[in-house]
Homo-oligomer: A and B are copies of this chain.
Amino acid sequence: MADDTETIGLLAGLGPDIAADLLKQAQRRTIRTDEVLFTAGQPACSVHVLACGAAKLMQTTPGGARVIVKYVRPGEVFGSPALLDKFYPTDAVAVTECVELQWPSELVRTVICRHPRVALNVIGDLEARLREMEDRLRDLSNEPVEHRLARAILKLVETFGQQTGEGIEIPFPVSRQDLADLIGSTLPTVSRTLSAWEAQRQIRRARRRLVIADVATVARVLYEETIPEPKPRRSHRRAARR
């Protein structure tokens, strides 16, 4: 398992011996698909890293609406609120069989004191997530569903995509509802758009998995009919028309 050292962002730049030592101190847990790693509202007392597999972080509002905040990929930190003794803000659910590492938060805090590099790694991770959220916020404010959907899929592709004979496959089930929750839309709307793309052979489904046959064409959705708009300062919302 020593090769985790290379994957895990948290331990980057630490020197193999130290990293290995920290790894040994981690609590290791295997979680089956659809099982819950933690729940929103629970007190967060350890910092988590996904060693392998994939998980989704999501919130459910009292009204029943759901939002997928993020898909976690191997090597990423999640549950960092633990460092501040807060509560988990989201549910975390395994979407694959996966392996998770946990360190109790006080331990991590002392590690940070001894190896401040770890703190920088955490900061880097958080910073990246913040950027990601800013992007999504922009999309949600300005882009139509079709664009948001394309972008969400492209993102899944570059984060989790695996080349197969049929195209690039997302190696875990992504339901239409999931996609809807990811882009702030609804199942029927997503279904419609995807049906169209399926008809055009840009995507397909293989045993519960999403397969993107033609990434370039999906990406093109984002650029076609983006009005060059000669006017110096258009005001707002929906750059596309016609």
Tell me the A residues contacting B by CB distance below 8 Å.
59, 61, 63-67, 69, 80-81, 83-84, 86, 89-90, 109, 112-113, 116, 119-120, 122-124, 126-127, 129-131, 133-134, 136-138, 140-142, 177, 180-181, 184-187, 226-227, 229, 233-237, 239
Is the pair A64, B234 in contact by a Cβ cutoff of 8 Å? yes
Q: Does B116 lie within 8 Å of A67, measured CB to CB?
A: no
| B80, B81, B109, B127: the one within 8 Å of A84 (CB) | B127
A229 to B64, CA, bound (A): 9
Can you tell how many copies of this chain the complex includes? 2
Residues of B within 8 A of A137 (CB): 67, 69, 133, 136-137, 140, 184
User: In the complex, what's the smallest C-beta–C-beta distance from A183 to chain B, in angstroms?
Assistant: 8
Q: Which residues of chain B are near A67, meaning CB under 8 Å?
A: 134, 137-138, 141-142
Quote the shortest CB–CB distance from A117 to chain B (angstroms).
8
Contact A83 B123 (CB under 8 A): yes
* A177 surroundings in chain B (CB, below 8 A): 235-236
Q: B142–A61 contact, CB under 8 A? A: yes
Do B233 and A64 have beta carbons less than 8 Å apart? yes
Q: Return A202 CB to nearest CB of chain B, in Å.
A: 24
Partner of A64, one of B83, B119, B129, B239: B239
Q: A63-B226, A65-B239, A235-B186 in contact; A81/B127 too (CB < 8 A)?
A: yes
Closest 8 CB pairs of A and B: A141-B184, A63-B239, A119-B119, A133-B133, A126-B126, A64-B234, A65-B142, A113-B116
